[in-house]
Amino acid sequence: MGRGKNFNVSDSSSQKSGKGANNIKRRRGKQHEPTDAVPERVKPHVTVPETIPYTTPASEFIYGLSAVEAALRCTRRKLYMLYIYQAAGEELSSEKIALRKLALARGIQVKMAFAGWDKILDKMSTGRPHNGLILEASPMPQIPVSSLQPVSLPTDEYFEVGLDKQSVEEAEVNGSSNRIARVERFEEVAKSRYPLVILLDGILDPGNIGAVIRSAYYLGVDALVLTGRNSAPLTPVTIKASAGAAENMTILKANNEIDFIRRSRENGWRFYAADSPQNVADLAATHGTLADDTASIAANEINHGASLLATAPTVLMLGNEGTGLLPRIKAQADGFVSIPGARIRPNLGINDAARVDSLNVSVAAALLMEMLMRVPLRVASAVPVASAGSTKTTKETTPRSFDFN
């Protein structure tokens, strides 16, 4: 085997040579040994390494509390080394102690990083906030698919996909099972729904992709498809933006989106393209040039979303932040969905000084997903307000929510 890949800490390569350089390498190797015990105090003098060795050439650094915790709990990919930063005078937080214990219980090496490591960790996270937690891991699994297979019943607990080609090394990361487990459903209306899958094409901002994944995971979408050539890659930036949701979300990869759509439609899946209200109105007039039985659907006209998911497995497609879906993808759609804006006049378009005629793609995706999968809105009773003359404290009875942030 060849020499392993290193993460170079400095921007310029070192020119050290001779005996002194060998001593530095030995000291660096000893300093980089995993730390099994939490130190009682931060070490005042620490030799900071110039490079961080990757365990494998494909390794990447996940960073941030939510992303690291999710990766440790979900264990969908190989995890190699957890770096925990402890600044001078800092007591190790309960979150960091808990994650250290979890990592060691999973058999993952832990390295305590002390004063002087802050710049290294900043570089490992490409300058983004890391909360003093960085985890070396294998790439996120993305199952290569050529199609979605037929779904017999909405109550099925899984559906199958047609697998695309991948190397042995890629299969070790992505897996080779063609069976996709559906999200566990608790609401009665949800138990009678066919699968919902989200397809993203041409989205360039990894933060937007991460936000879509977070919403899809929260709302119970069964899988997410990323297209091969036009979208931003799935990076640690995406993982952090998803607040860790990507670690437990089924993510598929379609290298040829047109063939994927056509084959999946032949298997009974229906595809709906998200577009602006004005474009949907224009396309409705020319639907004869589009896929058979094309229809235009305003999101607020969908009857709780059940009219679509009760009849067929469905894919919601969303496109580029600026231009939307490509025309060749729209041409494959069974229908179009939009979110009517309060300032957009039907058939006349936007007539507003600010010229805001659309939503951010991640916001639009969340609204459309919620509309497609809508369950009755739950409203908790408010805590009664004590009268002005009363000094008695009313006990809080409203439900609490945990923000996975």
**DSSP H or E stretch at residue 65:** helix 65-74
| Residue that terminates a domain, selected from 137, 166, 201 | 137
d(CA 373, CA 308): 9
Domain with 103 in it: what CATH number? 3.30.1330.30
Q: Count the domains in the chain.
A: 2
272 lies in some domain: yes
Same domain, 189 and 292: yes
Annotate 281-297 with b (16+ C-beta within 10 A) or e (fewer): bebbeebeebbeebebb
Contact 215, 247 (CB under 8 A): no
Please tell me whether residues 229 and 98 are part of one structural domain.
no
Question: Which stretches of 301-359 are DSSP H helices?
Answer: 306-309, 327-330
Same domain membership, residue 302 and residue 155: yes
pLDDT of residue 403: 44
Torsion of CA 240, 244, 249, 252, to 10 degrees: 20
**381 φ, ψ (degrees, to nearest 5):** -65, 140
Report d(CA 96, CA 112) in Å as an integer.
10
Mean pLDDT over 8-32 rounds to: 41
In the beta sheet, which residues pair with residue 296? 336
As a whole number of angstroms, the distance between CA 18 and CA 157 comes to 63
- Three-class SS of residue 74? helix
Query: Are 128 and 164 in a shared domain?
Result: no
Query: What is the pLDDT, as a whole number, of residue 96?
Result: 95
* Residue 173 domain flag: yes
Contact of 358 with 276, CB cutoff 8 Å: yes
390 or 280, which is more confident: 280
Residues 236 and 276 both lie in one domain: yes
244 and 286 both lie in a single domain: yes
Structure tokens at 55: 């365990």
* 350 — pLDDT class (breaks 50, 70, 90): low
Residue 45, pLDDT > 70, answer no
Which of 137, 172, 190 terminates a domain? The answer is: 137
> CB–CB of 278/349 below 8 Å?
yes
| In a domain? residue 404 | no
Residues 6+ away with beta carbon under 8 Å from 313: 148, 151, 159, 194, 195, 196, 197, 268, 269, 270
- Judge whether residue 41 has pLDDT over 60: no
The confidence score (pLDDT) of residue 318 equals 97
Which residues have a Cβ under 8 Å from the Cβ of 324 and sit 6 or more positions away? 274, 275, 276, 279
Backbone angles phi, psi at 275, to 5 degrees: -150, 170
Same domain, 133 and 147: no
Residue 149: name the closest of 248, 250, 269, 235 by CA. Answer: 269
* CA dist., res. 292 & res. 338, Å (int): 20
pLDDT tens digit string along 259-285? 999 999 999 999 999 988 767 666 555
399 domain residue, yes or no: no
Residues 335 and 308 in one domain: yes
pLDDT at 37 over 50: yes
Supply the range of the domain harboring residue 129.
Answer: 60-137
Closest CA to 301 of 320, 286, 331, 281: 281
Tokens of 208: 């937007």
Question: Residue 32: which residues within 8 A CB-CB, separation 6 or more?
Answer: 49, 52, 53, 111
Q: Is residue 390 part of a domain?
A: no
**Domain match, 96 and 183 both:** no
Question: The pTM is what?
Answer: 0.79
Shared-domain flag, residues 201 and 157: yes
Q: Which of 137, 156, 173 is the last residue of a domain?
A: 137
7 Cβ neighbours under 8 A, 6+ residues apart: 51, 52, 53, 54, 61, 124
Determine the average pLDDT of the residues in 197-201.
97
- What is the rounded CA–CA span in Å between residue 156 and residue 31? 53
Q: How far apart are CA 55 and CA 77, in angstroms?
A: 14
The tokens describing 281, both together, are 């109105």
The domain spanning residue 281 has which CATH number? 3.40.1280.10
Say if 305 falls within a structural domain: yes
For residue 51, tell me if it sits in a domain.
no
The Cα 208–Cα 216 span in angstroms is 12
Q: The tokens of 315 are what?
A: 């894919």
Confidence of residue 99 (pLDDT cuts 50, 70, 90): very high
Residues 113 and 178 grouped into a single domain: no
pLDDT at position 164 over 80: yes
SS3 63: strand
Q: What is the DSSP letter of 248?
A: G
- Cβ proximity of 87 and 46 under 8 Å: no
> Is 185 a member of any domain?
yes
- Where residue 49 falls among pLDDT bands split at 50, 70, 90? confident
Do residues 275 and 327 share a domain? Answer: yes
Q: Are 138 and 56 in contact (CB under 8 A)?
A: yes
Taking a C-beta distance cutoff of 8 angstroms, is the pair 396, 249 a contact?
A: no
